[in-house]
Amino acid sequence: MTFSRLPSDHTIGIIGSGQLGLMIVLESARLGVKFNVLGNKRDYVCKFAKCFDNSEDTKFLDDSTLVTFEFEQGNEEAMIKASDEGKLVPEYKNVWMKIERDREKQFLFENGFPVARFVIAQNGKEALKIIRDEFNWSAVIKKVRGGYNGKGQYYIRNMNYDPQIEKINEKVVVEEFIEFDHESSIIVTRSNSEFVSYPVSHNVNKEGILLYNYGPIRSYGEKEIARKLADKLNYRGTMGIEFFVNNGKAIINEFSPRVHNSGHYTTNSSFTSQFENHIRGISNSPLGATNTLNYFGMINLLGVPSIDPLVENYGNIFWYNKENTAPRRKVGHINISGESIDEVINKIEIIQKMIFTQRTS
Amino acid sequence: MTFSRLPSDHTIGIIGSGQLGLMIVLESARLGVKFNVLGNKRDYVCKFAKCFDNSEDTKFLDDSTLVTFEFEQGNEEAMIKASDEGKLVPEYKNVWMKIERDREKQFLFENGFPVARFVIAQNGKEALKIIRDEFNWSAVIKKVRGGYNGKGQYYIRNMNYDPQIEKINEKVVVEEFIEFDHESSIIVTRSNSEFVSYPVSHNVNKEGILLYNYGPIRSYGEKEIARKLADKLNYRGTMGIEFFVNNGKAIINEFSPRVHNSGHYTTNSSFTSQFENHIRGISNSPLGATNTLNYFGMINLLGVPSIDPLVENYGNIFWYNKENTAPRRKVGHINISGESIDEVINKIEIIQKMIFTQRTS
């Protein structure tokens, strides 16, 4: 079900109760819609939306006129039920492709999108054989399931590989190891009749987790690729697409059929945030303007229970109020603004030092 | 009580449950603090904060570590109690001045701020005599109490005055009738150690209610006056100051010791909104950057239960979800962005027509 306007008697259900859902609710409450959330009732978002435990998915669905998700690796059963009821936006096929990584790769390759060379293997041993024969011992092995934030990935640069790989007894993607000049991403929103995009950002990842990003940077075709992809998927809502850029050419690393970590800057720097545009896009409301303050940056707070409040001199903190602040867990982020890219990068360095000093003291 | 950081075990109490409190909560939830609200439990803000009825002010105060207010004409008793407990920021003296308009006028005049010539009268008859003798039948009579959104004001341009005036049996301010080129305002935030300001906007009021505003416009000293005023009051938090500008000179119309309607554009166009900066200011956290997208505008939605969703093509709607949408009641607003002032003004005109067409059809 969709609707062309957003009066206060509509209720949007969000599958997932993490920080992305929190931001959707806080940034879109102004639209006057009500929000239901399916997930863990103890999460911070439940202070701002009506929450249902995962076991209550039937009640959640009955109470929601339109259903979306904050994260594609979420409650798959609820997504399928919502899809069967015709309530899920974006469509379930987007989730299906992301649940097993080879489906996404295959889709992109078959439709002519630029991706790294890859081969599917049925287990670790077969992958190693392929890497020896076809990739000259330089490749990445990625389990097809559960792969996000760098989980289930093995980098192979020579014959000395992690012996764990031989024990992998599930399907994997063997992917060419990409040397890149930088990683980038773009956030776009599409509705039935419109397409808008935000500026391209430079992303710095470590072990599969975004540490920080900044922009706008020079575009190497990211916007055009994103538009083609969104059209091909007949996509509705906000999506993030990540790229490797090498020698002036951008190839898709992966896409996320949802709001994206590399677009957190939009809540401070853009006229309409990626979160509000997601809700406008899935409900086929007119999309909001994406003009953005020059220049922007974002730094993730990973596993720090608190930080020196003086950090606020350099950027705006967004706390997720998680109970569990385990190492590498995303517990908040800091949005940054500057008069130049150099100023933004300088602030990122200062903040990183402030956080690092605190963690080791 | 104040605190130098904003961890999640702090609870900020807001006196008043209207749209200004709603925006404070939605824009500042990211800081990780909890919010209590004192007012009407049926108001929209109560979906996002813990609400207390006005009769529960003791419980509300006990549960709050720091107390502020969304509107100075609110629950005066609760403000005084919070002040007595040392929890109220900004200080009660700011409210005291606003509760009876002559106090504000006197304060501004005595401290050398530019204001319209005024005389205090004890009732309507005395006011009329003063207007005859000293103002040549050109003045405004303003009741000292309950004066906001144009309430309790009488314009006198010649001897034919509203006969109701003779019946006024309370203190009034008689004020010179100001011919102005335009009205303007500025939003500023001050903490114990910092001061930040947003761009000056051009405001169009009708019968004491803001219809729309836009900017940035040329400044006629508004920022310098605002800074002096905030310093003189030893102010903490966000405040709005309204001006009449005539022949290149700005004089203060009035100040509001709180977040202000003419600063609603900051939630879309500024890196840090006036609402988040209010919370940062009252808690003596570092203030956020106020850089703002050129050019911005805002149009109030007055007494319209719903509008043509195509309006969203021209700006971002913020609905207050009020139960009562009586004529002239503020029920929402639309933030606008443009590449030029002319583009913003053009969008304001288009939106006004769309709303007007709907109301008369």
Residues of chain A above pLDDT 70, percent: 95
Given strand A11-15, what is the order of strands in its sheet?
Answer: A50-53, A34-39, A11-15, A66-69
Chain B CB within 8 Å of residue A332 CB: yes
Number of cross-chain residue pairs from A and B with Cβ atoms under 8 Å apart: 97
**Closest chain A residue to B288 measured between Cα atoms?**
A316
Q: Which residues of B fall within a CB distance of 8 Å from A192?
A: none
**Chain B closest CA to A282's CA: distance in Å?**
15
Within 13 Å of residue B30, how many CA atoms lie on the same side as its CB? Answer: 30
CATH topology of domain A117-176: Dna Ligase; domain 1 (3.30.1490)
Contact present, B53 and B40 (Cβ < 8 Å): yes
pLDDT band at A147 (very low <50, low <70, confident <90, very high): low
Query: Which of B113, B105, B117, B114 has the alpha carbon at shortest distance from B147?
Result: B105
> What six digits make up the tokens of B333?
């607003």
A11-88 is a CATH 3.30.980.20 domain: no
Evaluate if residue A284 carries a pLDDT over 90: no
Q: What is the pLDDT of residue A309?
A: 83
Asked if B30 and A26 come within 8 Å (Cβ–Cβ), the reply is yes
Q: What is the distance between the alpha carbons of residues A92 and A79, in angstroms, rounded to a whole number?
A: 7
**Per-residue pLDDT at B8:** 58
Which residues neighbour B255 within 8 Å (Cβ) at sequence distance 6 or greater?
Answer: B104, B229, B239, B240, B241, B242
- Decide if A319 touches B, using CB distance below 8 A: yes
ipTM of predicted assembly, 2 dp:
0.94
Question: Average pLDDT in the A269-288 region?
Answer: 96
- Ordered mean pLDDT values, 10 residues apiece, chain B (361 residues): 52 97 98 96 97 97 97 94 97 94 96 97 96 95 81 88 93 94 98 97 94 97 98 98 97 97 98 98 94 97 88 95 88 97 98 75 39
Domain layout of chain A by residue ranges: 11-88, 117-176, 182-360
Q: Which of B45, B270, B276, B312 is the best mutation test for A, with the most CBs of A within 10 A?
A: B312
Mean predicted confidence (pLDDT) in A326-332: 91
Residue of A nearest to B34 (CA): A47
In B, residues 20-39, which contact A (CB 8 Å cutoff)?
Answer: 26, 29-32, 34
Q: Which residue of B has its CA nearest to A194?
A: B313
What local confidence, expressed as pLDDT, does residue B9 receive? 65
One fold for both A11-88 and A117-176?
Answer: no
Q: Do A5 and B321 touch (CB under 8 A)?
A: no
Mean of pLDDT values over A310-322: 94
The Cβ of residue A97 has, within 10 Å, a number of other Cβ atoms equal to 20
pLDDT-wise least confident of A345-349, A352-356, B242-246: A352-356
- Pick from B5, B269, B312: CB nearest A271: B269
pLDDT in the model for residue B146: 75
A45 touches B at CB < 8 Å? no
Task: Select the residue of A271, A318, A332 nearest B268 (Cβ to Cβ).
Answer: A271
Residue A1 contacts B, CB cutoff 8 Å:
no
Average pLDDT value over all residues in chain A: 93
Q: Give one DSSP letter per residue of B64-89, joined into a string.
A: -SEEEES-TTS-HHHHHHHHHTT-BS
Kindly report the average pLDDT of chain B as a whole number: 93
Query: What's the confidence (pLDDT) of residue B10?
Result: 84
Closest CB from B47, B272, B316 relative to A288: B316
Whole-angstrom distance, CA of residue A138 vs CA of residue A136 = 6
The sign of the CA dihedral B330, B336, B341, B346 is negative
Q: What is the pLDDT of residue B3?
A: 44
Find residue A318's DSSP bridge partners: A333
Distances (CA, A) of A251 to A114, A180, A248, B92: 5, 10, 10, 60
CA terminus-to-terminus distance, chain B: 54
Which pLDDT score, from 0 to 100, does residue B5 have?
47
Distance from CA of B121 to the nearest CA of A (A): 44
Q: Is the pLDDT of residue A33 over 70?
A: yes
- Put simply, the answer to whether B309 touches A29 (Cβ < 8 Å) is no
Average confidence (pLDDT) over A8-34: 94
d(CA B43, nearest CA chain A) in Å: 12
Task: Name the CATH superfamily, with its identifier, for domain A182-360.
Answer: ATP-grasp fold, B domain (3.30.470.20)
Q: Do A30 and B317 touch (CB under 8 A)?
A: yes
Three-state secondary-structure class, residue B55: helix
Phi, psi of B332 (to 5 degrees): 175, 180
Buried b / exposed e over B277-312, threshold 16 CB at 10 Å, is: bbbbbbbbbbbbbbbbbbbbbbbbbbeeebbebebb
User: What whole-number distance in Å separates Cα of residue A59 and Cα of residue A41?
Assistant: 14
Q: Quote the strand ranges of chain B, DSSP E.
A: 11-15, 34-39, 50-53, 66-69, 118-121, 139-143, 153-156, 172-176, 182-190, 195-197, 201-206, 209-215, 237-246, 249-256, 296-302, 316-319, 330-337
